[in-house]
Amino acid sequence: MLAQRPQKDDHGFSQATQCLSAFRDELIGAHRRQACTREQLVHLNGVISVVLAGHFPLGDVPWGELDKARDWLKALVEAVEPE
C-alpha cells in the first residue's frame, strides 16, 4: 500500500491504518493469552503513529520514517508469526 508512496491524503494511508489497527487488536488478544509481549504492542503502536504522521504531515510525507516503520513491522510480524 504505502510502498508506492501515495499522496498524503490517499486512501492507502487509511487502508494501512485499518490493517494495522486490526493487527493490533489481534496482538491485544494474544497478549491477554500471554502469546505476545507488551513490548511488541508498543512497537506496533509506534508503527501506527508513524503511518498516521505520514497521513497527516505538517510538511512533506516522512518517507524515510515510513520506510523504517515498514522494517519494524516486518520484524514484528516475523517475531509474532514465525514461518
Write down the pLDDT at residue 2: 65
pTM, two decimal places:
0.83
Boundaries of every domain in the chain:
11-80
CA torsion, ordered 59, 60, 64, 69, to nearest 10 deg: 70
Tell me how far apart the alpha carbons of residues 35 and 43 are, in angstroms, rounded to a whole number. 15
pLDDT digit string (tens) for the chain, length 83 residues? 666 666 656 678 889 999 999 999 999 999 999 988 999 999 999 999 999 988 887 788 888 999 999 999 999 999 987 65
